[in-house]
Amino acid sequence: MPTMPPSALARPLDFTHSSNRVAVLGSLGALLLARRRTGSWKEAVNVAGACFLAWATARELDPDHPWTANLALPLAFMLVVRGAANPLPAAGTMSGLRMLAGTTGEAPTPVDTAAMLAQTGLSARFGGRLGALLPALAPWLSQRQETAALSLLGLLVPPVPASTGGGSVWPVLGALALAPWLIRPESIASSCDRAARPVRDSDVQQARSAALAVLGAAVLSRRHQAQQPLAAAVLTVGLRRLTSP
């Protein structure tokens, strides 16, 4: 019986690594704190999801330095807990960045492309079409095959009106201000999850550039509240690059 090829999106949470334990415990703490603050389990789950996605996004953008992800999680909590958090656009962004960074070491599968189609639709619905371009384009940018372009169909989903609250534009602008340091070339030493090779420097640099493009699109479309987890990740990684020799 044929087996399915390994996914380019699925990454295991290995609890032998302290950063992964921080992600789970931090997300649980965010859930409980948000529940106490908002009085709603739904809002609390959304906040916790946004915090975890900030952590996961920073891990894709900065594979060699897990502490930047550990800082991105509480920063995301501070950015999203005051308003209506919706982690769906951030999930599409994180998946697109993971595919571009190639941290699993696997090529996107048809199942991955279908997953990106669904995430593109959700991102377009709740984060606007500009913000959905990354999950829409990531499969094609990763493998340059015609079938990978199917995820672009998710852009046809009509967006809901942008929320007027739930996130300040200043963290996004602050993250964009770190662009010169974030996109500066850097050698990556981390290995892929399931491939016997290091993560490629050029792939991580491509993912970092894409993250900045998403933040710029969020500002232009006034959907910055949908990308607060990404802003938290870019801020922590960008500040590390700024302060590193």
Is a pLDDT exceeding 60 seen at residue 164? no
pLDDT by residue (tens digit) across 74-117? 999 999 998 767 899 999 999 999 999 999 988 888 888 899 99
Is a pLDDT exceeding 50 seen at residue 202? yes
Q: Where are the domains of the chain?
A: 18-243
**Spatial CB neighbours of 188, under 8 Å, sequence gap ≥ 6:** 63, 64, 198, 199, 200, 201, 204
- Whole-prediction pTM: 0.94
